[in-house]
Amino acid sequence: GGPGAAVPLAWRVVVAAAPRTDGVLRIGSINRPDEVAEIEPASGAGALPDWAKPAVGGTTGAGGMDVLVHTDLPDCAGITAAVPLACSAALAETAFHAAGPEVGQRARIRLADPPLGAVALFGRPGHVTLIEDDAGDLDHILFDPDRQGLRFMLAVPRHDALDACPAGIDSVSVNALSAGALEARSLGPTGTTIAVVPGGALAAVRRAMIDTYTHAGHPAPRVLSAIAGSPCVRVA
């Protein structure tokens, strides 16, 4: 692909991990409390369900670890958590089983998605990251939407109440713009809409998004807002 730009948003992906010495990688999820997956990467033993695969996308299987993951966004949100999950789990693995300073550990992580993985690992708070090419070469430009009073808003269809992406909601973006959003667009077949909204217009844009669904006869969407976030960080 060609050049692009990315800003991490503060919808969180959390990875809690503890080291093992038997080479086993065991993964659980707060979002799926009844499911646990276990594999031995070195031998290939075990199998992973789809929800657990992103968490091993950047790991090597060195030493093993227990991992518990959580994502703020529902699976149907249209914004994938795969890249930050992979990077966070890989950071935990290198912290347990690799020597050297953290910046060196980050540089050694094998990235399943080089451009976005590089943003997740090396992006800077208060900046937009320019991605030069697929190799993950980056440039950082000052951009602080929080200081400008801007928020990012998602309207996520309630797919648990629907058999398919809801029909008749093509005007969500238009209605959000009319209510005060600076930018709004669909995220593809999921039906999710993302908008950039001044703080003073949050309530009006939220109402416009909800009304678009309910007037079309659909359940009100989940409407979520966030500020710009940070790259993957270790907090404990």
Domain count, the chain: 2
Q: For residue 185, is pLDDT > 60?
A: yes
Question: How confident is the model at residue 162, as a pLDDT?
Answer: 46
The confidence band for 46, taking pLDDT boundaries of 50, 70 and 90, is confident
Tell me the average pLDDT across 13-40.
Answer: 90
Residue 110 pLDDT greater than 80, yes or no: no
Q: Which tokens go with 130?
A: 């320019």
Mean pLDDT of 133-141: 70
Say yes or no: 14 and 75 in one domain. yes
Instruction: Calculate mean pLDDT across residues 136-146.
Output: 81
Asked if 160 and 119 sit in the same domain, the reply is no
Residue 161 pLDDT > 50, yes or no? no
pLDDT at residue 135 tops 60: no
| Model pLDDT for residues 186-218, shown as the tens digit of each residue | 887 778 899 999 999 999 999 999 999 999 888
Tell me the average pLDDT across 221-229.
Answer: 89
Inside any domain, residue 232:
no
Within a domain: 235: no
What is the overall mean pLDDT for the chain? 83
User: Can you say whether the dihedral through the CA atoms of 120, 121, 125, 130 is positive or negative?
Assistant: negative
Asked, for residue 234, whether it belongs to a domain, the answer is no
Q: What is the pLDDT of residue 176?
A: 96
> Is there a single domain that holds both residue 189 and residue 116?
no
Q: 135 and 22: one domain?
A: yes
Q: What is the pLDDT of residues 47-94, one digit of tens each?
A: 888 888 888 777 877 788 999 999 888 777 777 788 888 888 888 888
Residues 51 and 93 in one domain: yes
pLDDT of amino acid 99? 59
15 with 125, same domain?
A: yes
Same domain, 46 and 155: no
Q: What's the pLDDT score for residue 117? A: 78
Q: What is the pTM of this model?
A: 0.76
CATH number for the domain that contains residue 137: 3.30.230.10
Q: In terms of residue numbers, what domain contains 154?
A: 150-226
Q: Is the domain of 24 the same as that of 69?
A: yes
What pLDDT shows up at residue 211? 95
**Scanning the structure block, which residue is given the tokens 């430009």?**
141
- For 117-122, what is the mean pLDDT? 80
* Same domain, yes or no: 37 and 127: yes
